[in-house]
Amino acid sequence: MRRLLIALPLLTASPAFADPLHDAVTAEMPSLMTIYKQLHASPELAFQEQKTATFLAGEFRKLGFAVTTGVGKTGVVAVMKNGSGPIVMLRTDMDGLPVAEQTGLPYASATRAVTAEGKETQTMHACGHDTHISAMIGTARQLVAMKNSWSGTLVLVGQPAEEIGLGAKAMLADGLFTRFPRPQYALAFHDNAILPAGTIGMRSEYIFANVDSVDLIVKGHGGHGAYPHMTRDPIVLAARIVTALQTLVSRELDPLDSAVVTVGSFQAGAAYNVIPDEARLMLTVRSYSPETRKMLLDGIARIARGEAIAAGLPEDRMPVFRLKDNFTPATFNTEPLNGRMTTLFKARFGDGRVGETKPTMAGEDFGRYWLADKSIQSVIFWVGGVPQAKWDAAGGDVTKLPPLHSPFWAPDAEAVISTATEAMTSAALDLLKK
């Protein structure tokens, strides 16, 4: 996400306009920061968020919500009906990452866990989901305290496994939109590692990308390294494929469109003097539109096959293309909701704290909720988390800042949580106003 650039680079985290909501959020911040530090110190990996989900469900129950746990394995759904009116869904994600924290914070995570692949690892909230959960609790508290100001149904979702792109899919498959009220509006936010703390970034239409993972098994005929003419070298073939894949974006895609094809792993052989039978490539493929996604995936398979034919491989030794099942679809912010929220946030926080951002090639599975029902108006927005001193020291060069997923990412949590709580609460109040 380090390449996300703000379209309005003069965003500044000036104080919000004082009003009852702002004052109420300020009063809650000591409690919310205690919660944040507790969550930060004890992250849980995707689909392992048992303690986090139990804690979040308990907070919702104390506020009077009807709470269901275990939705999509470890997800939480809390519903409050408060008269007639729209149905508004607010989502937070809950999972941490297999990252060893190096922030030096006094409440840094020392938690260890075992991944789904059976590997023991240290864990960290390196993507800021702890700020998301804390702000969700703050928003729930404010909306319950202000029940006389709104009418309708509030659905709060604690989603698992966002980091592996499977959480929203699991909750939808487990009946999120059939067992519970189906929303007319869906809202979420994500902390941002290249925006000043307390600023808000908005984006109409695509804001996050399609993310595909591809395994490409390149076959050959192995043999002695001294006799390459008696082999079909899969390493040379795979290298040709890697080079040719770069033309998908540079020569086949409209220059005004955006996409990424990255080979993240190239594995082959185990000895100096042995040409192996196969090479294995692991790719990440990122795009926005379904049409561009299809063009890229079809192009990878076509180029791999074409290079294999050029290398003289028989039909039974053609490359094997495998698309992984952890696909994350692009997230699309709908109009008129995005414009409505932008106007609302500018009125509340001032033009200096709210601006338009460019789309990112990172993934975020919040987009699945809109794709499941395109009658839903859906928006996810950024809340900047870069501490002001670090922002000033970077001098506008975002490459000098630790990105999301970095072991050094330490947001100004108080600014993120207070801004997000106020923004999410005001958004829900606007949509549910009497």
Same domain, 426 and 305: no
Contacts of 144 (CB under 8 A, 6+ apart): 63, 64, 80
Mean pLDDT score, 61-67: 98
Last residue of a domain, one of 323, 350, 377: 323
Indicate whether 12 belongs to any domain: no
Q: Residue 56 is encoded by which pair of tokens?
A: 């979040």
Give the domain CATH number at 224.
Answer: 3.30.70.360
Q: Is residue 197 part of a domain?
A: yes
Query: Are 61 and 127 found together in one domain?
Result: yes
Angle CA 412–408–358, to nearest 5: 65
How high is the pLDDT of residue 6?
A: 43
Active site residue 316: no
The answer on 269 and 201 residing in a single domain is no
* Percentage with pLDDT > 90 across the chain: 95
* Residue 337 backbone dihedrals phi, psi, to 5 degrees: -60, -40
pLDDT score at 9: 44
- pLDDT category at 326 given cuts 50, 70, 90 is confident
Beta partners for residue 150, in sequence order: 433
Pick the catalytic residue from 28, 49, 93, 278. Answer: 93
Separation between Cα atoms, residue 284 and residue 216, nearest integer Å: 11
Average pLDDT over residues 379-404: 96
Q: What is the mean pLDDT of residues 63-85?
A: 98
Range with the lowest mean pLDDT among 13-17, 393-397, 401-405, 416-420?
A: 13-17
Q: Which of 300, 323, 346 is the last residue of a domain?
A: 323
pLDDT, mean of residues 89-105: 98
Show the domain range for 203.
20-208+330-431
Residue 3 lies in a domain: no
Q: Is 93 a catalytic residue?
A: yes
Asked, for residue 295, whether it belongs to a domain, the answer is yes
pLDDT computed for residue 11 by the predictor: 59
Residues 274 and 337 in one domain: no
Residues 48 and 182 in one domain: yes
13 within some domain? no
Domain presence at residue 239: yes
Final residue before a domain boundary, out of 304, 323, 342: 323
Q: Are residues 223 and 339 in the same domain?
A: no
Q: What is the pLDDT of residue 2?
A: 35
If asked whether residues 178 and 249 sit together in one domain, one would say no
Nearest alpha carbon to residue 105 among 78, 119, 124, 122: 124
pLDDT at residue 3, rounded to an integer: 38
In the prediction, which pLDDT does 18 show?
A: 62
**Domain total for the chain?**
2
Q: Among 407, 5, 423, which residue's Cα sits nearest to residue 203?
A: 5
Does residue 7 belong to any structural domain of this protein? no
Tell me the per-residue pLDDT of 180-222, one tens digit each, with 9 for 90 and over: 999 999 999 999 999 999 999 999 999 999 999 999 999 999 9
Which run of H or E residues covers position 217?
strand 210-219
Closest CA to 38 of 413, 424, 416: 413
Q: Tens of pLDDT along 132-183?
A: 999 999 999 999 999 999 999 999 999 999 999 999 999 999 999 999 999 9
> Is 140 contained in some domain?
yes
Q: What pLDDT score does 433 carry? A: 96
Annotated catalytic residue within 101, 163, 212, 278: 163
Note whether 276 and 189 are same-domain residues: no
- In this prediction, residue 78 carries a pLDDT of 98
CATH assignment of the domain containing 356: 3.40.630.10
